[in-house]
Amino acid sequence: MRILVVGSGGREHALVRALRRSPRVSHVVCAPGNGGIARDALCIPVSANDNPGILHAARSNRIDLVVVGPEAPLAAGMADYLDANGVPVVGPRQAAARLESSKVFAKEFMARHGIPTAAFHVCDTAEAAMTVIESSAAAYPLVVKADGLAAGKGVVVARGVEEARNAVRRIMVEREFGAAGDSVVIEECLRGLEASFIVFTDGKTVVPAVAARDHKPLYDNDQGPNTGGMGAFSTDVILDPETTRCVIEKVIEPTVRGMAAEGCPFKGMLYAGLMLTSDGPKVLEFNVRMGDPEGQVILPRLESDFAALCERIAAGTLAEYQPVWSSKAAVCVVLASSGYPGAYARGKRIAGIEMAEEDPSVMVFHAGTRRDGESLVTDGGRVLGVTAIGADLCAAVTAAYEAVNKIRFEGMHYRRDIGATGLRQSSLVHRQSREGVCQ
Ligand SMILES: Nc1ncnc2c1ncn2[C@@H]1O[C@H](COP(=O)(O)OP(=O)(O)O)[C@@H](O)[C@H]1O
Ligand SMILES: [Mg+2]
């Protein structure tokens, strides 16, 4: 089988590595890829947002299946385009990608189908948004969200009226995110631990992946501005079996059924961003693709053939398929460039990756890297995702940070507490089971 992966980040590197493990896969091509993906796949210089370019690449490389990594091409209709031209694709069509590309669509969809989520208002003008913010019913903190895609920067958890007003001004008046700010969702602030729950679906059958947790804020203890994600971990402690069943039954199945019933069946990887509240799990948002960095900890835990899974998603034959997942834990620490998530430096020489990968439990996924002659240099805000697998979360965290300590580039920074909430959750579960609280 010959597979084309679309995208150039750490998620795509993890997708490429998972596909290469399949004995059925003879060739993996990546468009456009990066300096590390080039070691594992044939990288071709075609933009991830160029539909005709991707179709041409698929045809000229005799590709059997295209896996689309990022949300932007899906929101712009890449799956529709490839499908219409007879190329099998993993990823939803444009109408189904609205679950991510429009937060207004997602919230109204959840309301129509009784899917648990934060109470909300949709506002199409800044005046309407200001009225909601100033109404006596508005309880703080209050969450203001730009409707459209904003690269993880369009959500503000406002502690007071002034902060909420500023968010509306930036999104709707100054139009920091362009047309993504035509409308806003203003919603209730939920409390609890977050979880990323991703499933594979062919539009009918749902096959869950293991759960993960992202770390969005820049600094330790979730301080500082939000980023694309500074690290992630995946262990079975994040969602216990009962919560997992509840999420599948109350969130995932009604979503897949509801999208099909509304004439836009969802085919691909469906990601529910959840808040685990005292009132049960509630949806913060949907994404329509594998998470990044979550993919860097989820895919290494897959023991079954990922190419076979992708083939079944595209062919609509997921029924009865049950992949095997490792019970081990995985941790990914993102190494970022100086200045990220603001303007950052590029072209800094990276050293130590080979030494880090001498540990067989370590995989270094590349995000913003580029080859410059014989050397590898930084070429993005998030540069590397250093992932380690361990018998338990503690072992995985230790191995990941030991690997991080071997890698160097000028201005490199990273969070030191990736996995800490999971370690606290595990010790709570152990204590409860000793005390007989969990049966
Ligand atoms: N209703 C909410 N209550 C509390 N926190 C929220 C809420 N909605 C979003 N957040 C916080 O903001 C982050 C980003 O919001 P999200 O809806 O996932 O948008 P995006 O990923 O597109 O930026 C979430 O991961 C969560 O930490
Ligand atoms: Mg999110």
State the average pLDDT for the chain.
Answer: 95
406-422 pLDDT, tens digit each:
999 999 999 999 999 99
**Which tens digits make up the pLDDT trace of 88-120?**
999 999 999 999 999 999 999 999 999 999 999
Residues 6+ apart with CB under 8 A from 113: 254, 255, 257, 258
pTM above 0.85, yes or no: yes
The strand ranges marked E within 235-279 are 268-277
Q: Is the pLDDT of residue 429 over 90?
A: no
Any atom of ligand 1 within 6 Å of the Cβ of 216: yes
CA distance 312 to 320: 11
Sort strands 65-68 and 142-146 into parallel, antiparallel or unpaired. Answer: unpaired
pLDDT value of residue 434: 52
CA distance 115 to 50: 35
What span, in angstroms and rounded, lies between the C-alpha atoms of 97 and 267?
A: 10
- On the question of pLDDT at 382 being above 60, the answer is yes
Position in ligand 1 atom list of the atom nearest CA 187 = 1
* 359 Cβ closer than 6 Å to some ligand 1 atom: no
Residue 75 CB contacts under 8 Å (≥ 6 apart), including other chains: 94, 97, 98, 100, 101, 149, 288
Are the CB atoms for 184 and 146 separated by under 8 Å? yes
Q: What's the rounded mean pLDDT across residues 20-49? A: 98
Instruction: Find the helix or strand (DSSP H, E) in which 386 lies.
Output: strand 382-390
**Percent of the chain whose predicted confidence (pLDDT) is above 70:** 97
| pLDDT at residue 430, as a whole number | 61
Does residue 272 line the site of ligand 1, with CB under 6 A?
A: no
pLDDT band at 138 (very low <50, low <70, confident <90, very high): confident
Ligand 1 test: best mutation among 222, 285, 289, most atoms within 8 Å of CB? 285
Q: Residue 48 above 80 pLDDT? A: yes
The least confident of 109-118, 151-160, 174-183 is 151-160
Q: Give distance in angstroms: CA of 364 to centre of ligand 2.
A: 23
Residue to probe by mutation, ligand 1, list 71, 147, 155, most atoms within 8 Å of CB: 155
Q: Whose CA is nearest to atom 13 of ligand 1?
A: 155
Task: State if residue 345 touches ligand 1 by the CB under 6 angstroms criterion.
Answer: no
Q: What is the pLDDT of residue 437?
A: 37
- pLDDT for position 70: 98
Gap from CA of 230 to ligand 2 centroid (Å): 13
Beta carbon of 118 within 6 Å of any ligand 1 atom: yes
Assign 284 to helix, strand or coil.
Answer: strand
Pocket of ligand 1 contains residue 186 by CB under 6 Å? no
Take atom 20 of ligand 1 and give the residue whose Cα is closest: 152
Q: From the centroid of its chain, how far is CA 14?
A: 12
The band of 439, judged by pLDDT with boundaries at 50, 70 and 90, is: very low
Tell me the CA–centroid distance for residue 284 and ligand 2, in Å. 7
Q: Is the pLDDT of residue 438 over 50?
A: no
Query: What is the C-alpha separation between 381 and 367, in angstroms, rounded?
Result: 8
* Ligand having the closest approach to the CA of 120: 1
Structural domains in the chain, sorted by start: 2-93 (3.40.50.20), 125-182 (3.30.1490.20)
**Exposure string (b/e) for 260-289, b if CB count within 10 Å is 16 or more?**
beeebbbbbbbbbbbbbeeeebbbbbbbbb
Mutual angle of helices 393-404 and 420-434, in 10-degree steps: 160
Residue 402 backbone dihedrals phi, psi, to 5 degrees: -65, -40
195: enclosing H helix or E strand: strand 193-201
Atom of ligand 1 nearest to the CA of 153: 23
Pocket test for ligand 1, best of 71, 157, 290 (most atoms within 8 A of CB): 157
Instruction: Look at residue 9 in the predicted model and tell me its pLDDT.
Output: 98
For residue 25, give both structure tokens. 């896969």
